[in-house]
Amino acid sequence: MFSAFLVKRMTLMALTFLVFGCNSPTFKAENSVTLSYYIAADEVLWDYAPLGQNQIMGRDFNEDENVFVAASADRIGKVYIKSVYREYTDATFSTLKPRTAEWEHLGYLGPVIRAGVGDTIKVVFKNNLSIVASVHPHGVFYNKASEGANYNDGTSGAEKKDDMVRPGATYVYQWQVPERAGPGPNDPDSIIWMYHSHANSPMATNSGLIGPIIISKESGGYSSATDREFVTLFTITDENDSYYLDKNIEKFTQGVGLADDEDFYESNLMHGMNGYVYGNLPGIVMKKGERVRWYLIGMGTEVDLHTPHWHGHTVLHNGNRVDVMELMPASLKTVDMVLDNSGTWLYHCHVNDHIKAGMLSLFTVLPE
Ligand SMILES: [Cu+2]
């Protein structure tokens, strides 16, 4: 009886494998992995235009552009003190994990946290800042001890420790990736989520504490339908609403009472893509024939309505063909592009005011 049952069971398993292949949920659990990331919040100096010029036009900044990028006795300019998430090699947090050329374009975004459906994400987070910080994820499954957000949710004790990690302290966040955190029926086989500090969320994200999460259908977090991936955050980083406004005024200007000056306020609204303005975003290079997946993130306030537009190409968004996307604050969108047109092309926000203020980049499609 017993052996007959076993034979039946094995036959059923073999059939399941034949029908569903190794993508079957039955086999998912066996293949799933725990992916560990060692991420610290670090204070850095961030340059919004390291090339020192308007790369879109290939010339020096003009008077209008200098509103945002020129430093003077009463303007901070293009370099600001910020806090960013940075990846380290292990829990000692002594060695930074070098950012590879293909991810150079992430700019001030934190490292890509990647996983697939069925996997578990472990983030060992060290707060190297002088202020509290957390890591709050979107989309993935977390319990109250790994939500990374401080509010009146009826929790206490150990379930509060993740909310605001103290300066110098380390906390381990664990997030699961169930089916509902992965691509939906109309999505491509990997999608974008994000993480950010929720210890005063607006100030934290303006200060730079934000990064991408990529979740794929298959364990590990990679898509087999894609040759290259890019992540772009469209936001007006409001340096007036950063943890470091006073520090920046003190370090970079001679100004007193600048915080009340309207022109000063305007000069600190950095209309960037991943923290780069006027074509300074590096590393958006690809090859004709490749299948490229673009992950888009919106962030900010009521003026952060962005419309990313690619020149020379179109993209597929959940089955619809477009060459402009719409992003609202905290929008997360994934689109696919097949590169059929070599050259150097504009990639920019199509909102007029944002074009003038520098929300523009270039991407290069090399010939096959
Ligand atoms: Cu815009």
3-state secondary structure at position 13: helix
Full-model pTM: 0.90
**Contact of 74 with 255, CB cutoff 8 Å:** yes
CA 357–ligand 1 middle distance (angstroms):
9
The residue ranges of every structural domain in the chain are: 34-366
CA 220–ligand 1 middle distance (angstroms):
33
Whole-number pLDDT of residue 7 = 46
CA 38–ligand 1 middle distance (angstroms):
32
CA 84–ligand 1 middle distance (angstroms):
22
CA distances to 32, 204, 306 from 211, rounded to whole Å, are 23, 12, 18
Token pair, residue 361, equals: 């980049």
* Backbone conformation region of residue 22, classed left if phi is above 0, alpha if psi is from -120 to 50, else beta: alpha
CA 170–ligand 1 middle distance (angstroms):
36
For 105-167, give the DSSP string. Answer: GGTTS-PPEEEETT-EEEEEEEE-SSS-B--EESSSB--GGG--B-S-SS--GGGGTTTSBPT
CA 279–ligand 1 middle distance (angstroms):
14
As a whole number of angstroms, the distance between CA 226 and CA 149 comes to 34
Whole-number pLDDT of residue 259 = 63
CA 64–ligand 1 middle distance (angstroms):
17
Whole-number pLDDT of residue 26 = 36
Q: What is the pLDDT along the chain (368 residues), one digit of tens a residue?
A: 344 444 444 444 444 344 333 433 333 556 789 999 999 999 999 999 999 999 999 999 999 999 999 999 999 999 999 999 999 999 999 999 999 999 999 999 999 999 999 999 999 999 999 999 999 999 999 999 999 999 999 999 999 999 999 999 999 999 999 999 999 999 999 999 999 999 999 999 999 999 999 999 999 999 999 999 999 999 999 999 999 999 999 999 997 667 678 999 999 999 999 999 999 999 999 999 999 999 999 999 999 999 999 999 999 999 999 999 999 999 999 999 999 999 999 999 999 999 999 999 999 999 98
3-state secondary structure at position 23: helix
CA 352–ligand 1 middle distance (angstroms):
8
CA 89–ligand 1 middle distance (angstroms):
35
CA 284–ligand 1 middle distance (angstroms):
19
Whole-number pLDDT of residue 9 = 44
CA 208–ligand 1 middle distance (angstroms):
18
CA 330–ligand 1 middle distance (angstroms):
13
Whole-number pLDDT of residue 30 = 66
Token pair, residue 87, equals: 């990846």
Taking the CB of residue 284, how many other CB atoms lie within 10 A of it?
A: 22
CA 303–ligand 1 middle distance (angstroms):
8
**β-bridge pairing 360-366 and 34-47:** unpaired
3-state secondary structure at position 260: helix
**Contact of 344 with 281, CB cutoff 8 Å:** no
CA 77–ligand 1 middle distance (angstroms):
21
CA 46–ligand 1 middle distance (angstroms):
21
CA 156–ligand 1 middle distance (angstroms):
40
Whole-number pLDDT of residue 189 = 97
Residue 111: DSSP 8-state: P
Whole-number pLDDT of residue 257 = 64
As a whole number of angstroms, the distance between CA 194 and CA 210 comes to 7
- Write down the architecture of domain 34-366 according to CATH: Sandwich (2.60)
In Å, the largest CA–CA distance within the chain is: 89
